[in-house]
Amino acid sequence: MKQITLLGATGSIGIQTLDVIRLHPDHFSVYALAFGKNIEKAFPLIKEFEPEVVVVQDHTVKQQVEGEFPTIRVLQGTGGMIAASTAEKVDVLVNAVMGSVGLPATMAAIEARKLIAIANKETLVTAGHLVMEAARKYQVDLLPVDSEHSAIFQSLNGEKNESVERLILTASGGSFRDKTREDLVGVTVDDALNHPNWSMGAKITIDSASMMNKGLEVIEAHWLFDIPYEQIDVILHRESVIHSMVEYKDKSVIAQLGTPDMKVPIQYALTYPDRLDLSMTKRLNLEEIATLHFQPMDYERFRCLKLAYQAGKEGGSMTTVLNAANEQAVELFLKGEISFLDIETLIEQALERHQTIRKPDLDTILTIDQETRQQVRSYLK
Ligand SMILES: NC(=O)C1=CN([C@@H]2O[C@H](COP(=O)(O)OP(=O)(O)OC[C@H]3O[C@@H](n4cnc5c(N)ncnc54)[C@H](OP(=O)(O)O)[C@@H]3O)[C@@H](O)[C@H]2O)C=CC1
Ligand SMILES: CC(=O)[C@@H](O)[C@H](O)COP(=O)(O)O
Ligand SMILES: [Mn+2]
């Protein structure tokens, strides 16, 4: 029986993680559920899964949870996420919180030698060098939940890095894949939130529309698999059936396929190296799909992807700035305060103004993260 702490329990990945846990009560139980503010979603989950600990974003929500569940221990903020992730009883941390707010808990869980199923890609983008260095030092496995990285992990299947020619990440193209740059002027939040293949949280859906999601994933792949950026490619694949591929030196290409359903990589991260039945997921029907499409990536059309490669290759604190500027810009877009194309402009400005710091430590990263968000907000005034 694996005892799980789940960060981001009320989100898209969080809810699907609980679907998987519900399906296998003999294999998994919940030690702690952490969420931000959404008590409407959280209360039924707390009732059903009866965690020992609940973590919330702030004091007001803490009081609401304590009022409803007087016997449960309720913690708050980053300190609460760290305590819930490192408790003795915990076997696995599923980090499915949105944004770099998930970084301190990831670092603490590694130091506490917990197995980590990582959906929270922003953690790796903002501080990949620290996370991977700590994972090596404490000999902790980081099992990818992100669909492309789960596909690469499965396609690598323990092969040596020197046998790899390149990783090929597939990109659906997101909500605006058939639009030109001119068409993007005046697109709305609702248009951007309409992803063709996946139902996901708002922030990642906007990232997918801007192609920043793929940029973050290139950086995530660089850190998780220790592969140079020059050996990581992206290809447009509309159907999201091939979740990603590995090309080897001998020209063999190994891919992982399946219907677009995040429960598959979530469950694999929880059961690895075993596999369990996943009855609620639709079987891939290639006869029905019949045709798969592939297109080369246009880096001028999808400028955020180009910015992400540039920041990744520069390294150091530049990816912290990329991530924080993106998180802030997407938040402003979702609030209707900037246009869709402003997102990439604000990120580009933030990157241009930043002087890279080599090997920043955790405190430096957290400071740069906050300063970048502040700067992005100030460009608007
Ligand atoms: N959704 C998907 O299919 C995929 C997601 N991912 C990655 O997984 C992560 C989660 O994505 P997704 O599930 O879509 O996101 P959602 O927006 O659906 O959910 C985010 C979760 O994080 C919580 N949260 C947000 N801010 C805070 C905070 N400051 N403190 C504590 N909790 C917080 C939210 O709580 P509340 O809502 O209660 O405030 C919610 O539970 C992201 O890093 C994303 O890139 C990767 C691959 C696929
Ligand atoms: C499900 C998942 O892993 C997302 O990150 C997904 O990949 C988004 O799709 P695109 O970024 O390819 O549009
Ligand atoms: Mn993905």
> To which H or E segment does residue 144 belong?
strand 142-144
- Binning the chain into helix, strand and coil, the percentages to the nearest 5 are 50, 15, 35
DSSP H helices, 24-174, are 39-49, 59-68, 77-86, 103-111, 121-137, 147-156
Kindly give the distance from the C-alpha atom of residue 121 to the centroid of ligand 3, in angstroms, as a whole number: 9
CB of residue 104 inside a 6 A radius of ligand 1: no
Residues with CB under 5 A from ligand 3 (ion): 146-148
Residue nearest atom 3 in ligand 2 by C-alpha distance: 147
pLDDT category at 196 given cuts 50, 70, 90 is confident
Q: What pLDDT was estimated at residue 77?
A: 97
Question: Which pair of structure tokens corresponds to residue 256?
Answer: 């992982």
**Model confidence pLDDT, tens digit, residues 76-101:** 999 999 999 999 999 999 999 999 99
Mean pLDDT of the chain: 97
Q: What pLDDT was estimated at residue 373?
A: 98
Looking at this protein, which amino acid is placed at residue 300? E
**Model confidence pLDDT, tens digit, residues 344-368:** 999 999 999 999 999 999 999 999 9
Task: Residue 32: name the closest of 20, 24, 42 by CA.
Answer: 42
d(CA 21, CA 91): 14
Q: What pLDDT was estimated at residue 340?
A: 97
Q: Domains along the chain?
A: 2-140 (3.40.50.720), 159-379 (1.10.1740.10)
**Model confidence pLDDT, tens digit, residues 285-308:** 999 999 999 999 999 999 999 999
pLDDT category at 198 given cuts 50, 70, 90 is confident
Q: What is the pTM of this model?
A: 0.98
CB of residue 213 inside a 6 A radius of ligand 2: yes
d(CA 352, CA 154): 37
Q: Does the pLDDT at position 244 exceed 90? A: yes
Helix or strand or coil: residue 93? strand
Q: What pLDDT was estimated at residue 380?
A: 76
Percent above pLDDT 70 for the chain: 100
Count CB neighbours of 106 within 10 A.
29
Residue nearest atom 3 in ligand 1 by C-alpha distance: 200
Q: What pLDDT was estimated at residue 177?
A: 94
Q: What pLDDT was estimated at residue 51?
A: 98
Q: What pLDDT was estimated at residue 235?
A: 98
Q: Is 195 annotated as a binding residue?
A: yes
Q: What pLDDT was estimated at residue 305?
A: 98
Q: What pLDDT was estimated at residue 337?
A: 95
Q: Are 89 and 1 in contact (CB under 8 A)?
A: no
DSSP assignments along 220-235, one per residue: HHHHHHT--GGGEEEE
Strand 232-236 to 295-296 pairing: antiparallel
Q: Does the pLDDT at position 379 exceed 90? A: no
Q: Does the pLDDT at position 381 exceed 80? A: no
Q: Does the pLDDT at position 26 exceed 80? A: yes
d(CA 10, CA 41): 6
d(CA 122, CA 206): 14
Percent above pLDDT 90 for the chain: 97
Q: What pLDDT was estimated at residue 197?
A: 87
d(CA 182, CA 161): 41
Ligand nearest to the CA of 203: 1
CB of residue 343 inside a 6 A radius of ligand 2: no
Place of tokens 């496995």: 141
**Model confidence pLDDT, tens digit, residues 277-288:** 999 999 999 999
Task: Residue 118: name the closest of 19, 255, 217, 33 by CA.
Answer: 217
What DSSP character marks residue 339?
A: -
